[in-house]
Amino acid sequence: MIVPIYNNGDHLRHKAFASLRRSSIFERMHVLLVNDGSTDPVTVDTVEELAHRWPNVTAYHHARGGSGSASRPRNTGLALSFTPYVTYLDPDDEELDDGYWELMDTLEQAPEANFALGTMAVWTRKHSVHDYHAWFAGAIPHRDGLFRVDRESLPAVGFRPASIEALVARTDWLKGLGLVQPEGAVGQDTYFFQQMLFHTEAYAPVYRPVYTYYGAVDTSIVNVVSPGYFRKYLILEQARAAWLRETGLLEAYMEQRFEKFFVTWYLDKYKRVLPHQRAEAAAVLREIAAAYGEYSWTSPKARRFFESGSG
């Protein structure tokens, strides 16, 4: 169990770790707490306390300062993993009703599968469930209890990602892919799952939520978006665009996901940028679009954005 941590010791103690302690297989887990250089002494002390108290908990500390996202600690955690199976849980999320036990048990009984995938419970302004298997049904063949994936499956599902916290993977298989989450990027876990699915031969489904994701409340007027937020996504998108070119998937991605995601995610967030930062944020968004090359926009919202001088 890889837990990336940066200045969120209270969440670690009372949410993620508390939920793992409730698991019937807690003592069979190796919980790897990867501190990404926290500057908060309480967080550092919390990580050390948990590692000293529980023999199945290990702490790894990067140098003080942080890398800017969960990518580095997740990469470190995977590199250090030695158990047969591996997964991830962020400090502010919670395992749900022995979800990781059920994933592991399902994977143990499915030797053809590279990973087992559940669904995700989400709490934002209301409760919902992201049912990945319903999303993928019809696009990925289902036979003998497994979703049979091939190189056409990622375009077939419209490049729609699942959460890496909702799965348990075979460690040797995942390590063998040589995937690295781009350091400093946000949204990198969705790109990581897209890469995983591309390389998968089969996955085993678990038809219920295995963990709970708590989304941030975004209705406050002070919860604004800065140009720095988009710069973190620029790191992600430059890496993803390069990978899509390498795999021959760029054209399919542009047809199926690129514009819709740009409009519904980036331009929606752009509305929350403060007026004096809008020109800078718009320039970064244009860099994100440019990473994918020339494109003829059809969305009126996107066309207005790109035709305006300042965004």
Alpha helices in the chain (DSSP H): 9-11, 17-21, 41-53, 71-80, 99-108, 132-136, 153-156, 171-176, 188-199, 227-247, 250-253, 259-261, 268-270, 278-290, 300-307
Tokens of 73: 């600690």
> pLDDT digits over 150-182, tens only?
999 999 999 999 999 999 999 999 999 999 999
> pLDDT digits over 56-111, tens only?
999 999 999 999 999 999 999 999 999 999 999 999 999 999 999 999 999 999 99
Written as tens digits, the pLDDT of the chain (311 aa) is 999 999 999 999 999 999 999 999 999 999 999 999 999 999 999 999 999 999 999 999 999 999 999 999 999 999 999 999 999 999 999 999 999 999 999 999 999 999 999 999 998 878 899 999 999 999 999 999 999 999 999 999 999 999 999 999 999 999 999 999 999 999 999 999 999 999 999 999 999 999 999 876 443 333 569 999 999 999 999 999 999 999 999 999 999 999 999 999 999 999 999 999 999 999 999 999 999 999 999 999 999 999 986 55
Closest to 239 in 3D by CA, of 294, 295, 288: 288
Report all structural domains of the chain as residue ranges with CATH numbers, in order of start: 2-214 (3.90.550.10), 227-307 (no CATH)
- Taking residue 198's Cβ as centre, other Cβ atoms within 10 Å add up to 21
